Structure 1
């Protein structure tokens, strides 16, 4: 006898993109939340979940409820097949808690949620529209002028002290970025987690846990997406003023590099701010998965023009554009890796030969050996990082493009 699944009573249902007034009921997406997991589902899947929440005891009752919701007659076995296909197993009563998905290889919280809440609650006034408009205007004026004069500012002497201070301020700017996300979240009375550090592919990153922002409107989520860049822009106002006033090479370098990192986070092909901003403003979820499906379909039907035209018509312009740009980004990465490995192939033997000569001529004192050890690490660190990135890239291409990923929706 077929058993009707029972759902976890703790799950919540809310409309996704509350401000999408022009959508029809059939087009409306819903957010299902349970613990730290979020699922964006169609109206049909939401109705199926609501039927199960009523807890029908008999299969005939299940069929009657389905007909009442969908105005369609299906037998109980067909309904159970739909439940099996569309309802995530993690929503069932008694199912083990699914750990939150994270893009990080390793991660650790360094600032607790309570501490972040205490600090962020003092700065929500920065997100008042007039205040934000004023600060962005000040930033645009000062930063634009500073960037134009960056070459003149960078002519001052550079020493080891600058390097260490540069690294400290860069780390602080990354923390400020994540604190901006958390403060934007707090501005909308939305709970957030702590701030931590992690490793994304080969990139060390700070991160802020703003998972609860899924329940907000898409424009509120967009503000949270941009909150990190906004706080970095405020930091740059002070750095630019010091650079201009003191003719500081350090601050000029900081201004340039922080600007680059800000632009880099807008890259929509990695799951940085640009990806989430594009996803939130467009209302399209799982951009990577939809892009992979589209690319596979286009590749498989490349020589069947009629089938190819159907694929192009079925997908939104955003998904098609995103897929095309993703292909271009992959080609760029392949070209970048090829050129880098080509350079390493030609230069690495020369560097090792020079290092061996220095090792032969070096004295036996501890300082000389330590310096040579640091030099050897410096020779291999970039090739090793590139090899690590290449392995991650191959793994991603194999698992995400060639093979269909299994995801519940």
Structure 2
């Protein structure tokens, strides 16, 4: 409910829903799901406005409070003049195409039945069972970790992967939403969109802004936790539906990729929250470039980043020079071409395309750095 504020012979509407303290900062949440970081002095003024009546405000306070309303609260849309009815558009997902499939009310109803899964003891039990199930399964199915296996699909396997991936992707986002519901009391909607031509689900967990970093970290990992648990159920189906095996492999690869803390995915935000950073990647690049205010975590993160990309390019080189040509030769020697053969050929070409784009981006980035260094050198010599 929007609160009416009468002060200084004027009437305002307060859109403040809650004022929360998290990690030494104050987060203001509005009724239309917008969030603002305030310092202690600003929160003190806001609390005064929210709780005091016009008669309780001393004359020496009036000018400060009036200035605060005019310069801070009204421009940010935290307060608005009575009857203004200004609508502020919520922040949209950074996707090229997106639409909501379940609104916040529907999601919160679904989450009510799942929040028990995020009780610490339950998380420990389910996580341990899922880990043991996956380790046991894949140690007896080591043949699945090969290019030949991963690049080969029958139509049934492809359909199975599509259906099960949609199910687990939805539960992944529902995991984020349910954990957010348990820890903050509220979750947003769940939608579907496209990210660089890749279809993805997304969940609105913006209410995590009112939480301390430890709880934000829990929300960051909650999607992978529930996805891992759901995949464990599918392991039980594999003896009866062999096509599930291929899905299980790709799901595990997807989870591992999502945990890599060098892309802006769940693993990255988990590391940010655990290390109490807002954007560790940008911060590391910035400080390493200036050689200023470098912390131990920046050095470790930079070394891990370099190691990761060195290993990645080594694997790309191995595929480009050895495994890829072998698979192409096998395909060319076939006398009859099936759906699986055409699909495998297409996936091999896709691998080469990704490798080519990666090399191009690397060369362009290194080239830009060299040009920038050379330009700065010329400028310093000229001065």
TM-score (norm: length of structure 2): 0.64
Q: Distance in 1 between matches of 2:140 and 2:166?
A: 24
Measure how far apart 1:178 and its partner are. 1.0
Conservation of the 8 A alpha-carbon contact between 1:240 and 1:255: yes
Change (3 A) 1:276 1:378: closer
Q: 1:224-251 CA distances to partner (integer Å, 9 max, x unpaired)?
A: 22221222222222222233x44x5423
Change (3 A) 1:227 1:338: closer
Matches within 5 A, 1:145-294: 145-151=136-142, 159-188=154-183, 190-201=185-196, 203-243=198-238, 245-246=239-240, 249-284=242-277, 286-288=278-280, 291-294=281-284
Q: Secondary structure at the match of 1:188?
A: helix
Corresponding position of 2:14: 9
Q: Distance in 2 between matches of 1:153 and 1:325?
A: 27
Whether 1:137 and 2:123 are equivalent positions in the alignment is: no
Conservation of the 8 A alpha-carbon contact between 1:269 and 1:326: yes
Conservation of the 8 A alpha-carbon contact between 2:144 and 2:249: no
Measure how far apart 1:170 and its partner are. 1.5
Q: 1:252-285 CA distances to partner (integer Å, 9 max, x unpaired)?
A: 222222112112212223332112222333333x
Q: Distance in 2 between matches of 1:88 and 1:275?
A: 35
Matches within 5 A, 1:91-106: 91=77, 93=79, 97=88, 99-100=90-91, 102-106=93-97
Q: Distance in 2 between matches of 1:385 and 1:89?
A: 45
Change (3 A) 1:165 1:321: same
Measure how far apart 1:341 and its partner are. 12
Change (3 A) 1:32 1:236: same
Measure how far apart 1:123 and its partner are. 2.4
Q: Secondary structure at the match of 2:243?
A: helix
Q: Distance in 1 between matches of 2:197 and 2:74?
A: 32
Corresponding position of 1:31: 27
Change (3 A) 1:134 1:283: same
Q: Distance in 2 between matches of 1:8 and 1:270?
A: 41
Conservation of the 8 A alpha-carbon contact between 2:184 and 2:210: no
Q: Distance in 2 between matches of 1:271 and 1:173?
A: 20
**Consecutive unaligned residues in structure 1, runs of 5 or more:** 1-5, 18-27, 66-75, 302-307, 355-372, 403-409
**Consecutive unaligned residues in structure 2, runs of 5 or more:** 1-10, 81-85, 333-341, 373-383
Matches within 5 A, 1:336-355: none
Matches within 5 A, 1:364-375: none
Corresponding position of 1:120: 111
**138-147 or 94-103, which moves further after superposition?**
94-103
Q: Distance in 2 between matches of 1:143 and 1:14?
A: 40
Corresponding residue pairs, total: 325
Q: Secondary structure at the match of 1:268?
A: coil
Measure how far apart 1:196 and its partner are. 1.3
Q: For 2:289, which of 284, 299, 318 is the aligned residue?
A: 299
Q: Distance in 1 between matches of 2:47 and 2:89?
A: 21
Q: Distance in 1 between matches of 2:201 and 2:357?
A: 20
TM-score (norm: length of structure 1): 0.61
Measure how far apart 1:15 and its partner are. 0.4
Q: Secondary structure at the match of 2:123?
A: helix
**262-271 or 93-102, which moves further after superposition?**
93-102
- Larger proportion of strand: 2
Change (3 A) 1:318 1:210: same
Conservation of the 8 A alpha-carbon contact between 1:337 and 1:386: no
Q: Secondary structure at the match of 1:206?
A: strand
Conservation of the 8 A alpha-carbon contact between 2:118 and 2:182: yes
